[in-house]
Structure 1
Amino acid sequence: MSGHSSYVPGNGVSKWVDARLPLPRMLYDSFVTYPVPRNLNYAYTFGAMLSVMLLVQIATGIVLAMHYTASTDGAFLSVEKIMRDVNYGWLLRYMHANGASFFFVAVYLHMARGLYYGSYKAPREILWMLGVIIYLLMMATGFMGYVLPWGQMSFWGATVITSFFSAFPLIGDWIQQLLLGGFAVGEPTLQRFFALHYLLPFMIAGVVILHIWALHVTGQTNPTGVEVRTESDTVPFTPYATLKDALGVTVFLIVYAWFIFYLPNYLGHPDNYIPADSLKTPSHIVPEWYYLPFYAMLRAITFDIGPIDSKLGGVLTMFGSILILFFLPWLDTSKVRSAAYRPWYKLFFWLFIANALMLGWLGSQPAEGAFVIMSQMGTLYYFGFFLVIMPLLGLFEKPTRIPNSITEAVLEKKAGKAPAETGSQE
């Protein structure tokens, strides 16, 4: 996908800079003339949304940190002061709090698109794995940020989540104490979480740069899953991809603004507007909505598995549900990338999406009765999709005819031709 640079410095200063630090040339080659498949659709705009949201979160977070007090006595009051006394503090706080939710909305859509179009397959394994690392860093950052307001759900959420680590034999208690800075959630915990919450977004930005670099090395995938073969298969990144990205980001930001100004607390929990009280446990402790599917899988393990008790089994299931994503490029044995040409995979994929949404709902419900049974069934399908369905479909599924090139797919679409009889990818 790389080739000879077409960048031409416009004046003497540009020539001088280009000869010593060719940053303008790199940006021009990466975001202007960089060739992308000509059939990219709006599902490929989620990366731009994530980049915008990362910048929003870092910018608002830096300003909020200037007014925040990382102490058990002052944290809750400092957040109230930001809301009431700091100029536009309410806006910054709502942008940051809702920005976390919209960051996860974009990343889940981005990952779903990758699953549907096979963006994790060779030669893009490292690209996918870097994306999973970004996701893990986001989860850690989001959890620590949720603790900082020091409301009831912040305190008890931190108490419950950090207690999971005690389930690991030998090292569990040591890890828990390291996170807490003691034997219980308190001021050392708050200070550590504040420091890490401030640091991790910059680590995310660093991994994002590696992610984009890996993308430019291997090239962008496309809805057909066919690799670029000729120059006619591509168009310049600007204006073709940038206009799509601009429209997608604009619509995304309009919805984001709607929540900020009209539903600012809709995605949060009302108990977090009550100061933390270690003597008063909320009736139902739940994490933020974007952790709920994993919380449901954690609570689904209500039985011992040999020497592994139910608590450790639940923790291993929760962490395993994320770590399994690292091995996705090797679990999918099909040579066909895109689900557009895989009828059975497409069916199981949408069942997987429905199952993930169901697990999210179950994570918000009490861990009792039918909710536990449904969570166990949802957990079984989640792991079955990766460990059983994906490997077997690669052996037995018969894909529909795949176009010989991206250009051919575009021309067929314009001509309104339906997919022809079955065949296989080269």
Structure 2
Amino acid sequence: MSFAWAKPYEPKTELGRWIDNRLPLPRLVYNAVGGGYPVPRNLNYGWNFGVLSGIFLTIQIVTGIVLAMWYYASADGAFNSIEHIMRDVNAGWLMRYAHANGASFFFIVVYIHIFRGLFYGSYKAPREMVWMLGLVIYLLMMATAFMGYVLPWGQMSYWGAQVITGFFSAIPVVGEPIRVWLLGGYAPDQAALSRFFSLHYLLPFVIAGVVVLHIWSLHIPGSGNPTGVDVKSEKDTLPFHPFYTAKDGWFVGLFLILYCAVLFFAPNALGHPDNYIPANPLATPAHIVPEWYFWPFYAILRAFTFDLILPAKLWGVLAMFGSILLLFFLPWLDKSPVRSGHYRPVFKRFFWILMLDIAVLGFCGVMPAEQPYVAISQIATAYYFAHFLIILPLVSKFERTLPLPNSISESVLHGEAEEAAPLGSTPAAAQ
């Protein structure tokens, strides 16, 4: 579909024309995120978190490269090298806090991005590949975050590595050899620290590559929108630049102010105080807790307390990984032809129950493995899987949805004549 406002890229200078003929990178950028890319005109602020994810990935890569110049991947020197960065390296404290808190903010914006996709049906055809590549990015983020958490070599780093790699020992026959292979020994030590540092440095660049595929796959069907209605005419769209670059720009600035507030005034609020104690294999912490973004999965892992054919530990590991892998099958579990949760009243109620359920799992994940938290996590885990495997397929089959607008522009103009909106005008101007 062609759009009247979508002007083809035209280099303004002789140098620009020379580059465009030999390496048309500016043309590629213009068509991907510039004035040549049509975007639905009704996108809300939920669509800003994709750009924010890219911003925080960039922050993590840049600060990580700087920190790697001073970090010493040694079981004897890792903890002291972190202290050296914090105390002696110029602006080292800023780089370290920016990296540590950047990881938390990266997960915050990605979680909001995922939940927005769940509510607005971003996993439905024709955007299944966009959704699945996003989940691949999320899995790579989890692996990267875990390895990064080990690198300071504090108490929680060491015992976190001990617990997480211990998951693999639950796999029959091959589990323990896999764990030994991952650690390079029978317990976290020099070999484990070296390979975790190597992989932690490499994986962000792998994530960046998958992000390129994620964006590429998005540009084939085009962006979704809050109504879930497909683009039908040029009146339904606006050029990405300047309308959405301006909207994204100020929202990124607002979110970075919040990030800086945490960075400068509460830099340790999202961390664990035990990680400022050097790793001691002979002293187990009273309560081993992963980073906050892993709490719901940690609760699912601990929800299985009895053997049933398979050992309880193996059930917990399978459930924990299954809770993420299950999301890959969402396009086929939810068969409703309506994408947006705004027009699915029953789905909307169960969506918010799911959000509450995930919050309960997160609460149980940070609490000790004792009653009543174990029982609550068992109920919440059962509901989590029931939502996707039972409730969602039944709702998509029997739900009576609300009528959809005839077009995106109709939903933006609230029933006013489409012709009243001049091409390229904002919704506010059209009203």
TM-score normalised per structure 2 = 0.94
Which one of the candidate residues 167, 170, 173 is aligned to 2:173? 170
- Superposition deviation, residue 369 in structure 1: 1.2
Aligned to 2:284: 281
1:35 maps to a residue whose letter is P
Which one of the candidate residues 104, 108, 113 is aligned to 2:111? 108
C-alpha distance after superposition, 1:31-61 (max 9, x if no partner): 1120000000111000010010000000000
Hey, what's the Cα distance between the residues in 2 that align with 1:75 and 1:304?
A: 39
- Superposition deviation, residue 82 in structure 1: 0.2
1:399 aligned counterpart, secondary structure: coil
- Superposition deviation, residue 414 in structure 1: 7.5
1:374 aligned counterpart, secondary structure: helix
- Superposition deviation, residue 412 in structure 1: 1.0
Alpha-carbon contact 2:52-2:109 (below 8 Å) kept: yes
Alpha-carbon contact 2:410-2:416 (below 8 Å) kept: no
Aligned to 1:37: 40
Hey, what's the Cα distance between the residues in 1 that align with 2:181 and 2:38?
A: 48
Matches within 5 A, 1:22-101: 22-33=24-35, 34-101=37-104
Match status 1:157 vs 2:160:
yes
Match status 1:386 vs 2:421:
no
Hey, what's the Cα distance between the residues in 1 that align with 2:266 and 2:49?
A: 23
Which one of the candidate residues 343, 351, 354 is aligned to 1:352? 354
Aligned to 2:269: 266
1:218 aligned counterpart, secondary structure: coil
- Superposition deviation, residue 171 in structure 1: 1.6
Hey, what's the Cα distance between the residues in 2 that align with 1:212 and 1:5?
A: 22
Hey, what's the Cα distance between the residues in 2 that align with 1:14 and 1:44?
A: 32
1:85 maps to a residue whose letter is D
- Superposition deviation, residue 2 in structure 1: 7.4
- Superposition deviation, residue 264 in structure 1: 0.2
Matches within 5 A, 1:120-269: 120-269=123-272
1:329 maps to a residue whose letter is P
Aligned to 1:300: 303
- Superposition deviation, residue 413 in structure 1: 7.2
Hey, what's the Cα distance between the residues in 2 that align with 1:31 and 1:315?
A: 41
Aligned to 2:21: 19
2:220 aligned counterpart, secondary structure: helix
- Superposition deviation, residue 333 in structure 1: 1.2
Hey, what's the Cα distance between the residues in 2 that align with 1:303 and 1:231?
A: 59
Alpha-carbon contact 1:301-1:313 (below 8 Å) kept: yes
2:26 maps to a residue whose letter is P
Deviates more, 1:248-257 or 1:279-288: 248-257
Hey, what's the Cα distance between the residues in 2 that align with 1:102 and 1:132?
A: 18
1:215 maps to a residue whose letter is L
C-alpha distance after superposition, 1:308-353 (max 9, x if no partner): 1100000000000011111111111111000000001000001111
Aligned to 2:428: none
Match status 1:395 vs 2:389:
no
2:238 aligned counterpart, secondary structure: strand
Hey, what's the Cα distance between the residues in 2 that align with 1:303 and 1:127?
A: 38
Hey, what's the Cα distance between the residues in 2 that align with 1:247 and 1:344?
A: 35
> What's the C-alpha RMSD, in Å, of the aligned pairs?
1.2
Which one of the candidate residues 319, 322, 343 is aligned to 2:321? 319
C-alpha distance after superposition, 1:40-95 (max 9, x if no partner): 01110000100100000000000000000000110000000000000000000000
Alpha-carbon contact 1:352-1:382 (below 8 Å) kept: yes
Hey, what's the Cα distance between the residues in 1 that align with 2:221 and 2:98?
A: 35
C-alpha distance after superposition, 1:216-275 (max 9, x if no partner): 111000000001011110000011111111122111111100110000000000000000
Hey, what's the Cα distance between the residues in 1 that align with 2:290 and 2:303?
A: 16
Alpha-carbon contact 2:56-2:102 (below 8 Å) kept: yes
1:112 maps to a residue whose letter is F
1:335 aligned counterpart, secondary structure: coil
Alpha-carbon contact 1:334-1:395 (below 8 Å) kept: yes
Aligned to 1:423: none
1:144 maps to a residue whose letter is M
Hey, what's the Cα distance between the residues in 2 that align with 1:116 and 1:367?
A: 32
1:207 maps to a residue whose letter is V
Alpha-carbon contact 2:70-2:81 (below 8 Å) kept: yes
Hey, what's the Cα distance between the residues in 1 that align with 2:350 and 2:225?
A: 21
2:414 aligned counterpart, secondary structure: helix
C-alpha distance after superposition, 1:357-411 (max 9, x if no partner): 1111100001111101100111011111111111001111001111010011111
1:301 aligned counterpart, secondary structure: coil
Aligned to 2:425: none
2:353 maps to a residue whose letter is L
Alpha-carbon contact 1:232-1:407 (below 8 Å) kept: yes
2:39 aligned counterpart, secondary structure: strand
Alpha-carbon contact 1:2-1:217 (below 8 Å) kept: no
2:303 maps to a residue whose letter is A
CA 283–414 in structure 1, closer or farther in 2 if over 3 Å, else same: farther
2:108 maps to a residue whose letter is V
TM-score normalised per structure 1 = 0.96
Aligned to 2:423: none
2:366 maps to a residue whose letter is S
2:351 maps to a residue whose letter is F
Hey, what's the Cα distance between the residues in 1 that align with 2:2 and 2:92?
A: 45
Hey, what's the Cα distance between the residues in 1 that align with 2:354 and 2:250?
A: 29
1:348 maps to a residue whose letter is F
